[in-house]
Amino acid sequence: MKRNLIVTIVVAIIMAGFVLAYSKVAPVAGSMMAVDKSAPVVPPVKGYAEGHQILFLHTETSAPDVAKILTEMMGSPVLVVPSLANAPNSILANVYVFNNGIKGSGPFGFQPDVFDNPPGTDGYSPLRSLNEVSWRDGYAPRELQSAAEVKQASQQGEITIETRGVVVNMPMVAWPGGRR
């Protein structure tokens, strides 16, 4: 019995030594998950998908003028990656950006962007084809919160939609039914 106790104590001391030595050489699992407070922060942006508020990021775009607008809007650099414009349509989802209408937090000072295909739906992609939306004269602008509402307003002649050939990487961080 005494021998078993001595063996247990010796094994515990050896294991404690290994743990201490390892902690000096490799970070502990918990500290690997710690956030570096000096790391850059990419601020999330409010938008809409399927009638719900979402949060997303602007990280890269194919167009320098769009990168400039988004960088100034967010106070965080949006990189120019011209090759994004070569992405095939089959891997792009849409974002609708308003250049007039209801005042708001969008890049042109109007309502937040509207997205189709949030994560978990067919066609989700963080790569978005930029569609610029304009309210036509004679129509009362209102806040649209889904791609279906945007398409319906277009079909009724209330708005025009111009696809600019610009691709923006806009991953979502919170969406209807999910978050990262």
Token output for 56: 């997303």
pTM: 0.80
Q: Cβ contacts of residue 82 below 8 Å, gap of 6+?
A: 62
Pairing, β 93-98 against β 127-135: parallel
- Higher-confidence residue of 36 and 152: namely 152
The pLDDT assigned to 133 comes to 98
The pLDDT assigned to 151 comes to 98
**pLDDT tens digits for range 79-99:** 999 999 999 999 999 999 999
Using a 10 angstrom Cβ sphere, with 0-12 exposed, 13-18 middle and 19 or more buried, the burial of residue 90 is exposed
Split at pLDDT 50, 70, 90, the class of 36 is confident
Q: What is the mean pLDDT of residues 60-66?
A: 98
The residue behind tokens 């209102």 is 142
**pLDDT tens digits for range 133-167:** 999 999 999 999 999 999 999 999 999 999 999 99
C-alpha to C-alpha distance for 164 and 131, rounded to whole angstroms: 6
The pLDDT assigned to 28 comes to 46
Instruction: Flag whether pLDDT at 14 surpasses 90.
Output: no
For residues 168 and 60, the answer to whether their CB atoms sit within 8 Å is: yes
